[in-house]
Homo-oligomer: A and B are copies of this chain.
Amino acid sequence: MLPRKIADSTVRRLAMYLRFLEEFDTQGQDTVSSDALARRAGTTSAQVRKDLSFFGSFGKRGLGYDVPALAERLREILGLVRRYRVILIGAGRLAGALATFSGFGARGFDVVAVVDQDPIKIGKRWDTLQIQDVTRLEAILRAEQVDIAILVTPGDPAQGLVDRLVREGVTAILSFAPVQLLVPEGVDVKYVNLAIELETLSYGLRHRSHA
């Protein structure tokens, strides 16, 4: 059973813990203290224990966590016990990088389709993928049984594309488009805005240089 409402920041930390547990596991380490796990993840042991406590009781006082068992439990919690079918909407350079990003496949995310509206791009191949016409989006979503859409478009067409995804039942979207998207309840959108990440750095640079 999973708790209903866990903050994204907690889920992100769980995903981080899983990485480090897998690292410890590869190194043949059987148990790990919340302290050691926290140090590796750049957080506190209290935070580690709190994050894990949402999902039941782990570890034994003084013995720490069983590394492979906790890793397996985190994979279950994160839904990583199956593979996911991903579509890329937009076939620009960033999409091209994502299509071949080994980090996705390694975690169970398979890019199964890519679409664009540009006639020059449509039909071109990226390794085993062929760029398809976005006008065929609905047919592709059905044929490919897509779980997750990654939106790699400019801001303008983004909302219209998301409306089409939602109508076809897609409930998980990762957007690189620099706009706020409107979706009905039950649809989950995460945003990656690379320029905004740089702006949090420029904020810090300005702030520190004035300190």
Expressed in whole angstroms, the Cα–Cα distance for A205 and B97 within the complex equals 25
Expressed in whole angstroms, the Cα–Cα distance for A108 and B205 within the complex equals 14
A208 lies within 8 A of chain B by Cβ: yes
One of A26-34, A44-52, A76-84, A134-142 contacting the partner: A76-84
**Chain B CB within 10 A, most for which of A8, A11, A193, A201:** A201
- How big is the A interface, by class? 35 or more
- Asked if A202 meets B103 with Cβ closer than 8 Å, knowing A174-B197, A180-B16, the reply is no
Closest B residue, CB atoms, query A5: B207
B188 touching A174, Cβ below 8 Å: no
A41 lies within 8 A of chain B by Cβ: yes
B194 touching A11, Cβ below 8 Å: no
A40 touching B180, Cβ below 8 Å: yes
Chain B residues near A173 (CB-CB < 8 A) = 201
B11 touching A203, Cβ below 8 Å: yes
Partner of A77 from the list B14, B15, B171, B203 (CB cut-off 8 Å) is: B203
A147 lies within 8 A of chain B by Cβ: yes
B97 touching A202, Cβ below 8 Å: no
Can you list 5 contacts pairing A with B, beta carbon distance less than 8 Å? A12-B193, A14-B203, A84-B205, A107-B195, A172-B205
A interface residues (Cβ-Cβ under 8 A, vs B): 1-2, 4, 6, 8, 11-12, 14-16, 19, 40-42, 77-80, 84, 86, 92-94, 96-98, 100-101, 103-104, 106-109, 147-148, 171-174, 178, 180, 182, 186, 188, 190, 192-208, 210-211
